[in-house]
Amino acid sequence: MCGITACIGTENSVELLIDGLRRLEYRGYDSAGIAVKNENGISVTKRVGEVSELVAAVEQNPISGTFGIGHTRWATHGGVTDGNAHPHTDESGRIAVVHNGIISNYQPLRAELESKGHTFSSETDTEVVPHLIEENLRNGASPEAAFRAAIGTLSGSYAITAIIGDEQAIFATRSGSPLVLGVGDGEYYLASDVPAFIQHTPRVVYLHDGDFVVTTPDGYTITDSAGRSVDRPIEYIEWDPETATKGGYEHYMYKEINEQPGALRRTTQGRLNTHTGGAELEEFPPGAFADISQIHLVAMGTSHHAGMYAASLLNARGIPAYAFMSGEYSVIKPPVTPNTLVIAVSQSGETADTLDAIRRARAAGARTLALTNVVGSSMTRECDDELLLRAGPEIGVAATKTFSSQVAALALLAERIAEDYNGTKSPDSRELIDALARLPGDVQEILDTSIAREIAIEYEDSDAYFFIGRGSAHPVALEGALKFKEISYEHAEGFAASELKHGPLALVTPITPVFAIFTGHEDEATLSNMKEVQARGAPVIAVTSDESREVVEFADHVLTIPDTHPEVAGILANVQLQLVAYHAANLLERPIDKPRNLAKCVTVE
Task: Identify the bridge partners of residue 228 per DSSP, sorted by sequence position.
Answer: none
Q: Which of 2, 7, 383, 601 is catalytic?
A: 2
Q: H/E element holding 57?
A: helix 51-60
Rounded to whole angstroms, the Cα distance separating 386 from 293 reads 19
- Buried b / exposed e along 173-192 (16+ C-beta atoms within 10 A): bbbbbbbbbbbeeebbbbbb
Rounded to whole angstroms, the Cα distance separating 420 from 478 reads 31
Main-chain dihedrals φ then ψ at residue 31, nearest 5 degrees: -155, 165
Rounded to whole angstroms, the Cα distance separating 561 from 578 reads 13
Task: Identify the bridge partners of residue 220 per DSSP, sorted by sequence position.
Answer: 215
**In this structure, are residues 534 and 551 in contact, taking their beta carbons and an 8 Å threshold?**
no
The residues, any chain, with a CB within 8 Å of residue 105's CB and separated by 6 or more, are: 153, 154, 155, 156
Task: Identify the bridge partners of residue 161 per DSSP, sorted by sequence position.
Answer: 98, 172
DSSP state, residue 258: H
Torsion of CA 383, 385, 389, 394, to 10 degrees: 20
Rounded to whole angstroms, the Cα distance separating 440 from 289 reads 28
212-216 and 31-38 as β-strands: parallel, antiparallel, unpaired?
Answer: unpaired
Active-site residue, 2 included:
yes
DSSP secondary structure of 169-194: -EEEEEEBS--EEEE-SS-EEEESSG
Q: Which of 485, 594, 600, 601 is catalytic?
A: 600
CA dihedral over 135, 140, 144, 145, signed as positive or negative: negative
DSSP state, residue 534: H
Helix extents (H) in 279-400? 301-316, 326-332, 352-363, 378-382
Active-site residue, 600 included:
yes
**In this structure, are residues 123 and 79 in contact, taking their beta carbons and an 8 Å threshold?**
yes
Q: Quick check: helix, strand or coil at residue 37?
A: strand
**In this structure, are residues 314 and 414 in contact, taking their beta carbons and an 8 Å threshold?**
yes
DSSP state, residue 157: E
**In this structure, are residues 458 and 465 in contact, taking their beta carbons and an 8 Å threshold?**
no
Task: Identify the bridge partners of residue 96 per DSSP, sorted by sequence position.
Answer: 89, 163
Rounded to whole angstroms, the Cα distance separating 170 from 452 reads 49
Rounded to whole angstroms, the Cα distance separating 312 from 429 reads 16
Helix extents (H) in 74-164? 106-115, 128-138, 143-152
- Buried b / exposed e along 281-304 (16+ C-beta atoms within 10 A): beebeeeebeebebbbbbbbbbbb
Catalytic residue IDs: 2, 600
